[in-house]
């Protein structure tokens, strides 16, 4: 009699897997406390919580901008908890990171700012002045232009970055991250300094990238309406801990109060008056 038992299907490796992750700063602040979190490649995850809840520190651990104090952290099955040197640079190249402050080179054009992220692909440029972006190949420039097209600002390619509105600058930052050819997108309060319309455009752009490029997105947000509108999961943090992890429909008023406590007004605060 033949054995008809089929081997178990192999589950896909998560994009992010943190287990009992901790980050304690030299002054004793425990910013991340025993966080266990798994994010799959098909997920767009909103992380919410008041200022100081540990959201930014968690993202910086995942991107290895800071080193976790203890616990384990994996990206696509690779343990990156204690890596250093060139290995860290390789990992960061796989992670597109968007910040609240756009971190653009203000004197360069939009296209040049996007091309800056391609420096990691050409070791001969590393360590040289950013004006060398003018010496990129035609193919590199066309690729950068395609990234600008994806975020809808290709018509601004030759303007200086410091002439743009806040929402436009954030889309340049997203295009720059896209030009890295990342496997994961992290966004740390990407709409905090934007007006409501610009915030919606930026979030729509991140969702489009997630859906068309199949890139997992983990985004820190203050505003509940944006978190629930875009997130497929809502992760609530308080005092460095994840205290809730629910679908948008499961985020009740009681859970919001539990996450924000006395700082509940931060969950429904106004966006900027202008960009």
Averaged pLDDT for residues 74-89: 92
226 or 1: which leads in pLDDT? 226
Averaged pLDDT for residues 173-182: 94
User: For residue 12, what pLDDT is reported?
Assistant: 77
User: For residue 6, what pLDDT is reported?
Assistant: 59
Q: Is residue 11 part of a domain?
A: no
Least confident of 118-127, 136-145, 219-228: 118-127
User: For residue 229, what pLDDT is reported?
Assistant: 96
Q: Is residue 154 part of a domain?
A: yes
Averaged pLDDT for residues 26-31: 96
pLDDT band of residue 137 (cuts 50, 70, 90) is confident
Q: Is residue 191 part of a domain?
A: yes
Q: Is the pTM of this model over 0.75?
A: yes
1 or 208: which leads in pLDDT? 208
Averaged pLDDT for residues 162-173: 95
Q: Is residue 58 part of a domain?
A: yes
Averaged pLDDT for residues 29-53: 96
Least confident of 10-24, 124-138, 168-182, 258-272: 124-138
Quick check: 155 pLDDT over 90?
yes
Q: Is residue 200 part of a domain?
A: yes
User: For residue 271, what pLDDT is reported?
Assistant: 62
Quick check: 104 pLDDT over 50?
yes
pLDDT band of residue 5 (cuts 50, 70, 90) is low
Instruction: Report the domain count for the chain.
Output: 1
Quick check: 235 pLDDT over 90?
yes
The average confidence (pLDDT) of the chain is 89
Euclidean distance between CA atoms 235 and 55, whole angstroms: 10
Q: Is residue 3 part of a domain?
A: no
pLDDT band of residue 275 (cuts 50, 70, 90) is very low
Q: Is residue 273 part of a domain?
A: no
User: For residue 117, what pLDDT is reported?
Assistant: 85
Domain containing 146: what range? Answer: 16-268
Averaged pLDDT for residues 71-78: 96
User: For residue 65, what pLDDT is reported?
Assistant: 94
Q: What CATH number does residue 50 fall under? A: 3.40.50.300
5 or 254: which leads in pLDDT? 254
128 or 136: which leads in pLDDT? 136
Q: Is residue 6 part of a domain?
A: no
């Amino acid at each position: 009699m033949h054995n008809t038992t089929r081997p178990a299907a192999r589950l896909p490796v998560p994009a992010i897997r943190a287990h009992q992750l901790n980050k304690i700063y030299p002054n004793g602040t425990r910013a991340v406390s025993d966080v266990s979190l798994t994010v799959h490649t098909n997920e767009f995850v909103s992380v919410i919580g008041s200022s100081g809840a540990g959201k930014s520190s968690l993202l910086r651990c995942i991107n290895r901008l800071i080193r976790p104090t203890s616990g384990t952290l994996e990206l696509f099955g690779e343990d990156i908890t204690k890596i250093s040197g060139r290995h860290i640079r390789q990992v960061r190249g796989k992670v597109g990171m968007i910040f609240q402050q756009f971190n653009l080179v203000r004197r360069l054009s939009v296209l040049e700012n996007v091309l800056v992220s391609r420096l990691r692909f050409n070791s001969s440029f590393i360590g040289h002045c950013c004006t060398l972006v003018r010496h990129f190949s035609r193919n590199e420039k066309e690729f950068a232009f395609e990234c600008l097209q994806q975020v809808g600002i290709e018509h601004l390619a030759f303007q200086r970055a410091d002439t743009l509105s806040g929402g436009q600058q954030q889309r340049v930052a997203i295009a720059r991250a896209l030009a890295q050819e990342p496997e994961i997108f992290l966004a740390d309060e990407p709409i905090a300094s934007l007006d409501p319309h610009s915030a919606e455009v930026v979030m729509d752009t991140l969702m489009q990238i997630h859906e068309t490029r199949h890139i997992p997105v983990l985004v820190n947000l203050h505003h509940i309406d944006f978190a629930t509108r875009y997130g497929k999961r809502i992760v609530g943090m308080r005092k460095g801990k994840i205290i809730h992890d629910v679908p948008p429909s499961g985020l009740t008023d009681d859970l919001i109060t539990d996450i924000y406590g006395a700082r509940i007004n931060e969950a429904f605060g106004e966006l900027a008056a202008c960009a």
